[in-house]
Amino acid sequence: MSRSTMIVGTGSFVPDKVLTNLDLEKMVNTSDEWIMTRTGIKERRIVGEETATSDLALKAAERALKAAGVSPSEIDLVLIATVTPDMAFPSTACLVQDRIGAKKAAAFDISAACSGFVYGLSIADQFIRNGTYDTVLLIGAETLSKITDWTDRNTCVLLGDGAGAVVLRPTEESKGILSFYLGADGGAGDFLKVPAGGSRQPPTCETVNKKLHYIKMRGNELFKIAVRVLTRAVEEALSRSCLSIEDISLLIPHQANIRIIQAAAEKAGIPLSKVYINVHKYGNTSSASIAIALDEAVREGRIKEGNIIVLDAFGGGLTWGACVIKW
């Protein structure tokens, strides 16, 4: 039989500090009602000044490994999806590889913003299917609070910190990852970006003073694109597995905004009872979003053996993608 890839363990971690909408009312010109109506977010988790992305990634990874019954010495590859690395280099994946004790593992980061976890799954799947690796640790981790302008009410109400992880291994059973659909549109990259800090605009006093190291977003344009491509990604990924919308047991979308989630589900014809939502608790955690939601869905018993699960993401780049899994 052909070799396919299955998730054998999940884990997640969020910081203890809760930042509520009432807290934000004291920081910017906003209200709990305004935030809830437009985003569906009630609160989000925020790291302390001394906490880095690798710290969250490590804790999520440890929980996923424990759930999988896998030791660090068995890991062949560590992948981390993030747009908030500890530093430009070495990669955050290398930092976690060392701290977790995965001595034989290769390691690298993936930068695909909110789509990073789904992109990472596609990479892990290829390595396992072709026999290069047997055990892959994939983590989505972010400390978006570090690149958030807390005086900009259009962005600061949306974002949070957290990490989620999965352990992947091969199987010869007729289950696991079935298909992917990935897409990108670099021409719309300006809609969601951090302008400075790279080689185009290196850090200077001027870029700092102009707040160019913070997330900049054009929300209205993003909403329209997100609904369209999230729907298309689900349909295309299902088609590649010879499945239909009716076959979905649970859709786990990127938790960006409740209105995007609802609109995309409606456009695709998926009832909200089949959509996992936790955006009200954590806000938008970018590449960690789907990984955290997947772990919570597993622990809450929302996912049963044989279920068809669809992961659906959209983010900066612009990037998007969907993954179909038979659990």
Collapsing DSSP states into helix, strand and coil, what is residue 304? coil
Examine the domain organization and report whether 123 and 244 are in the same domain: no
CA–CA distance, 207 with 197 (Å, rounded to integer): 8
Examine the domain organization and report whether 124 and 235 are in the same domain: no
Q: Locate tokens 């800090």: which residue? A: 197
Examine the domain organization and report whether 303 and 156 are in the same domain: no
CA–CA distance, 27 with 96 (Å, rounded to integer): 34
CA–CA distance, 20 with 26 (Å, rounded to integer): 10
Contact between 192 and 286 (Cβ < 8 Å) = no
Question: Cα angle vertex 124, ends 253, 162, to 5°?
Answer: 45
Collapsing DSSP states into helix, strand and coil, what is residue 6? strand
Contact between 71 and 77 (Cβ < 8 Å) = no
Give the tens place of pLDDT for each residue, 7-62.
999 999 999 999 999 999 999 999 999 999 999 999 999 999 999 999 999 999 99
Please say if the pLDDT value at position 289 is more than 70. yes
Which sequence positions are flagged as catalytic? 114, 254, 284
Contact between 215 and 160 (Cβ < 8 Å) = no
DSSP 119-138: HHHHHHHHHHHTTS-S-EEE
Q: How many domains does the chain have?
A: 2
Examine the domain organization and report whether 196 and 56 are in the same domain: no
Domain boundary among 142, 173, 204: 173
Name the residue range of residue 167's domain.
4-173
Give the tens place of pLDDT for each residue, 131-184.
999 999 999 999 999 999 999 999 999 999 999 999 999 999 989 999 999 999
Examine the domain organization and report whether 198 and 321 are in the same domain: yes
Q: Which tokens in the block code for residue 58?
A: 């490590």
Examine the domain organization and report whether 198 and 169 are in the same domain: no
Examine the domain organization and report whether 230 and 152 are in the same domain: no
Give the tens place of pLDDT for each residue, 231-279.
999 999 999 999 999 999 999 999 999 999 999 999 999 999 999 999 9
Mean per-residue pLDDT of the chain: 97
Collapsing DSSP states into helix, strand and coil, what is residue 275? strand
Angle between helices 219-240 and 258-268 (to 10 degrees): 40
Examine the domain organization and report whether 123 and 243 are in the same domain: no
CA–CA distance, 72 with 76 (Å, rounded to integer): 9
Domain boundary among 123, 140, 173: 173
Domain boundary among 173, 189, 219: 173
Q: Locate tokens 């910081």: which residue? A: 15
Give the tens place of pLDDT for each residue, 292-313.
999 999 999 999 999 999 999 9
- pLDDT computed for residue 219 by the predictor: 83
Examine the domain organization and report whether 195 and 166 are in the same domain: no
Examine the domain organization and report whether 263 and 128 are in the same domain: no
Categorize the per-residue pLDDT at 220 as very low, low, confident or very high, splitting at 50, 70 and 90: confident
Examine the domain organization and report whether 111 and 213 are in the same domain: no
Q: Which tokens in the block code for residue 154?
A: 């259009």
Contact between 163 and 288 (Cβ < 8 Å) = yes
Please say if the pLDDT value at position 2 is more than 90. no
Residue 306 CA from chain centroid, whole number: 24
- pLDDT computed for residue 1 by the predictor: 58
